[in-house]
Structure 1
Amino acid sequence: MILNPRQQELLEWVQRAGHATVDELAQHFGVTPQTIRRDINQLADERKLQRVHGGASAHSSVENVAYSTRQVLCSNEKEGIARLVAEHIPNHASVFMNLGTTSEAVARALAHHTGLRIITNNTHIAMTMCHYRDCEVILAGGVMRPKDHGIVGEATIEFIRQFKVDYAVLGVACIEADGTLRDFEMREVKTSTAIMAQARHVFLVADHSKFGRPSLVEMGHLRQITALFTDRHPGEAMATVLNDCNTELYVASDALPNDGD
């Protein structure tokens, strides 16, 4: 299912807030309740959210939405974030890249770099980047997850600990108001924390829907992150947290050209 802009924003709202009523969605989008109910029914049929009485709710904090849904959710925003990250990674760099569709967008944005050495547990990234000019891809071993073909487990962590790289590019499910980072699955979190420990610079990539989203497993804190790349300014409170953590902030919308130039 290809989402129209209203359906994508509706899905982001529900994922971020956890629940939304038909009436508030209809008022926000300026459409009839019947139109919103049709959107909810279509998204529920695609298992992207859950129908509830009078509205819609997100899936629980213990399980991420389907990989196919994450591929289309905030896709333009992820591409903008990825282009900005690519500007901060030089040629001839070594880079860890973890699971996640935003990390995959960064992989695509690095297509014109040369001399990269990529270490990843993300098979989609490995298949994308192995065709790049003068780019060596090292794929971690371990247990492959059927839902997204990510590789996790103790063997993956032991493999990662063999390397010390220039940069890590990490996706995340949730950034809480106090700077705590969370994700959904223990094995994935352990892999990401191992990657953070083995990188000189850690770049966190997260679109606006990840702020305050409910997730179960603690992955770390913004104080462990060199720079956060996102698509919108996260607000004054989060800016204060970032400043306290000495974490740089890069916003993709700030990098867009001015139409008046």
Structure 2
Amino acid sequence: MVSEPQSHEQRQLRIVEMVSQQGFLTLEDLARRCDVTVQTIRRDVNNLAAEGRLSRYRGGAGLASSIENMEYERRQVVNLTAKQRIAAKVAEDVPEHASLFINIGTTTEQAARALLRRDGLQVITNNLNVARILSENPAISIVMAGGKVRNRDGAVTGQPTVRMLEQYRADIGIVGISGIDLDGGLFDFDLDEVLCAQAIIRNSRRVFLVTDHSKFGRPALVKVGHITDISALYTDAPPPAPIASMLHATGVPVVLPD
């Protein structure tokens, strides 16, 4: 019986999963395991390296850096269409007059854009870009958490930020992430940012994790929590089998764009 060919996204997820397990694989190994040409694998590896999901080496691919995120300007445009589709989907599940946390990230910023025309939202955020976007609608109330501003991307972090976030209890926390390990761990690159995300997760009645497929299997240094801590995963492609199994076992839905 001949198996169905994998889609482009499925193949790239499999490449990330294999490299995560092995540490390094040659292009020839990857091509053989995926049953495609070396030229196809080379294009996949180039794309994955551009997204920060792998490191490209001469003749092969290895793990991406777990200590440094890509530049904010680059993150804004990587998988932009996917982020917009995810944002539109999560916005459908946010009722009018809800209270929301929205944290740091380019996908959460797209979620803010998708929510811009809503009435009566109460938003608490530590993301200057989210506050700026939502300020265009006078019917949305915004609380901007105080703290130290990270100039490169408008993030606000630090202990004063955490203490302020802890004063609220919101209906929904819309949270972005830098990496989801295949064991279900949620990771990011900056401890101060992670402490803020953890405060949001603790103080949200429901947690909507918004992330595109490039975060599956992507390494990052600081642990935020576990995939089973969330209420729903909004993404643009089915997660790898280990993550999908955990979500299924705990009843956490995976919400994909139409």
Classify the TM-score, shorter chain: 0.7 to 0.9
- Partners of 1:156 and 1:109 lie apart in 2 by 25
> Any residues of structure 2 matched to 1:9-48 within 5 Å, and which?
17=19, 27=37
Match of 2:68 among 57, 63, 72: 63
Match of 2:93 among 65, 73, 88: 88
- Partners of 1:30 and 1:193 lie apart in 2 by 40
Q: 1:212 — aligned with what?
A: 217
Unaligned stretches of 5+ in structure 2?
A: 1-11
Match of 1:74 among 76, 79, 93: 79
> Any residues of structure 2 matched to 1:88-107 within 5 Å, and which?
88-107=93-112
- Partners of 1:232 and 1:177 lie apart in 2 by 15
Given the superposition, is the C-alpha separation of residues 71 and 28 from structure 1 closer, same or farther in structure 2, using an over 3 Å criterion? farther
Look up the equivalent residue of 2:204 and give its one-letter code. A
Q: TM-score, normalising length from structure 1?
A: 0.79
Look up the equivalent residue of 2:135 and give its one-letter code. C
Q: 1:225 — aligned with what?
A: 230
CA contact (8 A) 2:216 2:240 kept: no
> Any residues of structure 2 matched to 1:130-149 within 5 Å, and which?
130-149=135-154
Q: 1:8 — aligned with what?
A: none
CA contact (8 A) 1:222 1:245 kept: no
When the two chains are superposed, the root-mean-square deviation of aligned CA atoms in Å is 3.2
Q: 2:169 — aligned with what?
A: 164
CA contact (8 A) 1:95 1:165 kept: yes
- Partners of 2:56 and 2:245 lie apart in 1 by 37
- Partners of 1:51 and 1:238 lie apart in 2 by 25
Unaligned stretches of 5+ in structure 1?
A: 1-10, 256-261
Once the two structures are TM-superposed, the CA of residue 50 in structure 1 deviates from its matched residue by 6.7
- Partners of 1:101 and 1:20 lie apart in 2 by 30
Given the superposition, is the C-alpha separation of residues 30 and 213 from structure 1 closer, same or farther in structure 2, using an over 3 Å criterion? closer
CA contact (8 A) 1:94 1:165 kept: yes
Once the two structures are TM-superposed, the CA of residue 232 in structure 1 deviates from its matched residue by 0.7
Given the superposition, is the C-alpha separation of residues 147 and 186 from structure 1 closer, same or farther in structure 2, using an over 3 Å criterion? same
Q: CA-to-partner distance for each residue in 1:222-254, whole Å, 9 max, x for gaps?
A: 2210111110111443222002233121112xx
Match of 2:128 among 123, 126, 134: 123
Q: Which runs of 4+ in 1 moved over 3 A?
A: 11-31, 47-59
- Partners of 2:131 and 2:88 lie apart in 1 by 19
Q: CA-to-partner distance for each residue in 1:157-197, whole Å, 9 max, x for gaps?
A: 00101111110000011112222111111111110000011
Q: 1:175 — aligned with what?
A: 180
> Any residues of structure 2 matched to 1:1-16 within 5 Å, and which?
none
Give the length in aligned residue pairs.
238
Task: Report the 3-state secondary structure (helix = DSSP H, G, I; strand = E; otherwise coil) of the residue aligned with 1:103.
Answer: helix
- Partners of 1:196 and 1:21 lie apart in 2 by 39
CA contact (8 A) 2:182 2:240 kept: no
Match of 1:243 among 237, 248, 251: 248
Task: Report the 3-state secondary structure (helix = DSSP H, G, I; strand = E; otherwise coil) of the residue aligned with 2:171.
Answer: strand
